Amino acid sequence: MTDPGLIVIGSGPAGVGAADAYRARRPDAPVRIISADGSHPYFRPPLSKDYLRGETDDVGMHPPEWFRERDIEVVLDAAVDHVDAGERVVTAGGDRYPYGALVLATGASPAPLPIPGGERALQLRSLADAETLRGAARSATTAVVIGAGFIGCEAAASLAMQGVSVTLVAPDELPQQKRLGAEAGRRLRELVEKTGARYLGSAKVESVQADSVRLDDGTTLPADLVLAATGVHPNSAIAGSLGLTLEDSRVVVNADMSTGVDGIYAAGDVAFAFNSGAGRRLAVEHWQDAEDQGQVAGAAAAGEDATWSGVPGFWTTIGDADVKYHSWGDGYERSTMVEHGDGGFTVWYSAGDGTTVGVLTYQADDDYDRGEELITAGEPPPVDRG
Ligand SMILES: Cc1cc2nc3c(=O)[nH]c(=O)nc-3n(C[C@H](O)[C@H](O)[C@H](O)COP(=O)(O)OP(=O)(O)OC[C@H]3O[C@@H](n4cnc5c(N)ncnc54)[C@H](O)[C@@H]3O)c2cc1C
């Protein structure tokens, strides 16, 4: 019988990484990426940065030849609605695709804004969303960005840099104070405000009107454009229908991205994957980690031993400032800010036992690299050594 090969659901970094890794090990088996997205695989990180500012249109992950040369078929605009794990068949838009191995790389989608008028707010995940947002920004004088996670901070900065009067509104007194601490939050606020955007913390949005946003203290903020950057939900409906184990709506997988069902793997934002370096499962939403997990899934699906072990990390760009972060991402006990005197800084994060569990840097690349080594080795941050 001919090998039905690999099907990957999703064309983000996890999906493309899985297809690439599988193809490298199985030169002759069919490899197919099926995606609900209508655009050829693209990078999401620029969508809140240079793409939103109109500085580039070129966000393609790989040119079409890259897929052709590898004989990876990409089926777009095809939402998978059913997987029969017994027969090993995926159904999308009425078409049936048999598989030998399946990788669920369905990522995450923006959570709806659960307040009156919430549906008026734009969201930002896909290239189509970014096109809509960029178009709306062209005619907007005022904007409110709701949520000060990295995407909210980046988008607020990009809109402000185009001359839009932007207010970034979030419940934390300082951006990401809960996640990264007050000192880091203060520096993030400075970076956002340097672009001309205003940060309004400790604020709760009550409703979105046609041309304004109303806060629960009665304040009304004018807004030709409203962007909700209030977090994402994993796209785990298919995984759920297959009876896969979910935790916080993410698919629980092993370090090789295998699920409990033979031949089915999950990777990227939809996965809650075991990291063999951390010794526990981690929920991460970063580009490089999604790609790494996809590569592991593709290799494992092709029968090779592979595990996810690296320290998760990402860069965010707020205006023209690159802030870099390495962390296991599941909390810390203590944080220590080190100012470098030239505007740069490092925040070291450690656990109760003194080991380094995170590092956040701005203009301090040596610390970023050193931080990764210390986290991997389970050693204390340099600032905590006696
Ligand atoms: C605006 C923006 C900026 C970002 N910037 C950064 C950054 O600077 N650094 C960083 O590390 N991370 C950044 N991220 C996060 C990063 O993009 C994600 O962590 C990453 O894309 C996750 O990859 P993934 O492959 O798991 O999922 P996704 O990229 O979400 O891809 C999932 C794919 O699955 C498809 N899909 C879903 N359901 C179905 C279905 N039923 N059938 C078929 N297809 C389906 C979707 O259409 C999509 O193609 C950013 C994200 C956004 C939105």
What pLDDT, on the 0 to 100 scale, is given for residue 1?
64
Q: Which residue numbers in the chain have pLDDT < 70?
A: 1, 384-386
Cβ-count burial 141-152 (b if 16+ within 10 Å, e if not)? ebbbbbbbbbbb
Closest of 343, 383, 385, 335 to residue 364, by C-alpha? 343
- Report the alpha-carbon distance of residue 354 to residue 335 in Å, rounded: 11
DSSP H/E element including 225 = strand 225-228
Closest CA to ligand 1's atom 38: 106
Look at residue 383 in the predicted model and tell me its pLDDT: 87
CA of 324 to the centre of ligand 1 (A): 19
- pLDDT of 386 reads 45
**Predicted pLDDT of residue 342:** 86
Pocket probe mutation, ligand 1, options 8, 16, 33, 35, max atoms within 8 Å of Cβ: 35
Closest by CA to 83, choosing from 190, 229, 222, 241, is 241
Q: Where in the chain are all domains bearing CATH 3.50.50.60? A: 6-109+232-301, 112-228
The tokens 């605009």 sit on which residue? Answer: 77
Is 352 exposed, middle or buried (CB count within 10 Å of its CB: 0-12, 13-18, 19+)? exposed
State in Å: Cα 78 to ligand 1 middle: 16
CATH 3.40.605.10 fits 112-228, yes or no: no
Q: Taking the CB of residue 193, how many other CB atoms lie within 10 A of it?
A: 17
DSSP state of 112: P
pLDDT score for 88: 97
Q: Is the dihedral of CA 297, 29, 76, 47 positive or negative?
A: positive
Nearest atom within ligand 1 for CA of residue 13: 25
Nearest to 229 by CA among 138, 299, 151, 114: 151
Q: How far is the CA of 108 from the centre of ligand 1 (A)?
A: 6
Q: Which residues pair with 325 in a beta bridge?
A: 314, 360
> Quick check: CB of 74 below 6 Å from ligand 1?
no
Q: What's the CATH fold of domain 6-109+232-301?
A: FAD/NAD(P)-binding domain (3.50.50)
